[in-house]
């Protein structure tokens, strides 16, 4: 973010380096029930991102001191595979993945009816196989599909999506180059039914007006992504192909 470069990110026609319009999403493909041994699972391809998510639980939380007598404890683990980025990433948790795991856990907790499962834990694994910017929001989108696939009762299916600013233009769903050389990135997770925001972060600089424009763009796109989630879940039970 914010690295100075001569690279132009918006051309004379107002198009982005991958040919998209400012308010256009990258192509998204989703699939649920991709893993046999997990209670719920989902796979998402979102632009250059490839992410698999799996849910275990609810089951008795262990060790016991992790138990909450009133509700399920939701523990998300965001992990990037060593081969998911250009230079081999050192395996295991780092500061970034620990922080992402925490904020994703909190976002998912906010929609799960956890009080139905006291003393249990629900583990959510987010494995990034290929990263191309926007992995936390694609991960959240897939994780909520995996939770639904596991039959865990939720108020809503969370949608994650980012927007930001490149070459002075507010754009939806930044790709890697835009994330690297752009001015701002705003990842957000939203509950489409109520419009509540479950996660909001910002990296870089933008004005208040630009930030609200970015949030409006995300809110609009979230409706589309949510429809894809619903179609994906329905198609599993009809035995259709992946949803694109």
| Site map (CB under 6 A) of ligand ADP, residues 11-50, x = contact | ----------------------------------------
Is the Cβ–Cβ distance between 144 and 158 less than 8 Å? yes
State whether residue 127 is helix, strand or coil.
Answer: strand
Burial of 89 (0-12, 13-18, 19+ CB in 10 A): middle
State whether residue 91 is helix, strand or coil.
Answer: coil
Is the Cβ–Cβ distance between 100 and 140 less than 8 Å? no
- 77 near ligand ADP, judged by CB under 6 A: no
In the structure encoding, which two tokens stand for residue 159, read together? Answer: 């949608």
Distance of CA 98 to the CA centre of its chain: 15
Q: How many residues bind ligand ADP (CB under 6 A)?
A: 13
* Residue closer to ligand ADP (CB basis): 123 or 179: 179
Which run of H or E residues covers position 215? helix 208-238
DSSP 8-state assignment for residue 113: -
- Minimum distance from CB of 136 to ligand ADP (Å)? 3
Q: With CB under 6 A as the contact rule, which of the stretches 16-24, 35-43, 55-63, 133-141 interacts with ligand ADP?
A: 133-141
Q: Which listed residue (132, 149, 178, 210) binds ligand ADP by CB under 6 A?
A: 132
State whether residue 48 is helix, strand or coil.
Answer: coil
Cis peptide before 151 (omega within 30 of 0): no
- 136 near ligand ADP, judged by CB under 6 A: yes
DSSP letters along 148-163, please? HHTT--BSS--EEEEE
* Residue closer to ligand ADP (CB basis): 81 or 230: 81
- Minimum distance from CB of 204 to ligand ADP (Å)? 10
Kindly report the length of the chain.
244
Q: With CB under 6 A as the contact rule, which of the stretches 8-16, 17-25, 130-138, 189-197 interacts with ligand ADP?
A: 130-138
- 133 near ligand ADP, judged by CB under 6 A: yes
- 85 near ligand ADP, judged by CB under 6 A: yes
- 135 near ligand ADP, judged by CB under 6 A: yes
Of residues 164-223, those binding ligand ADP (CB under 6 A): 176, 179, 185, 187
Q: Which residues would be at the binding site for ligand ADP (CB under 6 A)?
A: 85, 89, 96, 131-136, 176, 179, 185, 187
């Amino acid at each position: 973010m914010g690295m100075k470069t001569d690279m132009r990110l918006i051309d004379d026609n107002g198009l982005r380096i991958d040919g998209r319009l400012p308010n256009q999403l990258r192509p998204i493909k989703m699939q649920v029930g991709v893993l046999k041994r997990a209670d719920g699972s989902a796979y998402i391809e979102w632009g250059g991102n490839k992410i698999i998510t799996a849910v275990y639980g609810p089951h008795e939380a262990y060790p016991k001191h992790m138990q909450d007598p009133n509700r399920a404890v939701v523990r998300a683990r965001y992990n990037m595979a060593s081969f998911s980025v250009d230079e081999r990433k050192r395996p295991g948790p780092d500061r970034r993945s620990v922080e992402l795991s925490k904020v994703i856990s909190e976002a998912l907790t906010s929609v799960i009816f956890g009080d139905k499962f006291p003393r249990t834990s629900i583990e959510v694994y987010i494995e990034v196989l290929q990263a191309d910017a926007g992995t936390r929001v694609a991960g959240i989108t897939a994780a909520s599909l995996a939770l639904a696939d596991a039959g865990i009762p939720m108020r809503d299916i969370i949608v994650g999506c980012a927007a930001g600013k490149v070459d002075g233009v507010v754009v939806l769903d930044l790709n890697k180059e835009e994330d690297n050389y752009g001015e701002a990135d705003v990842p957000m997770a939203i509950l489409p039914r109520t419009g509540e925001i479950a996660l909001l972060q910002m990296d870089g600089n933008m004005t208040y007006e630009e930030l609200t424009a970015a949030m409006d763009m995300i809110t609009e796109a979230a409706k589309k992504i949510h429809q894809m989630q619903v179609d994906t879940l329905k198609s599993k039970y009809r035995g259709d192909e992946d949803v694109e």
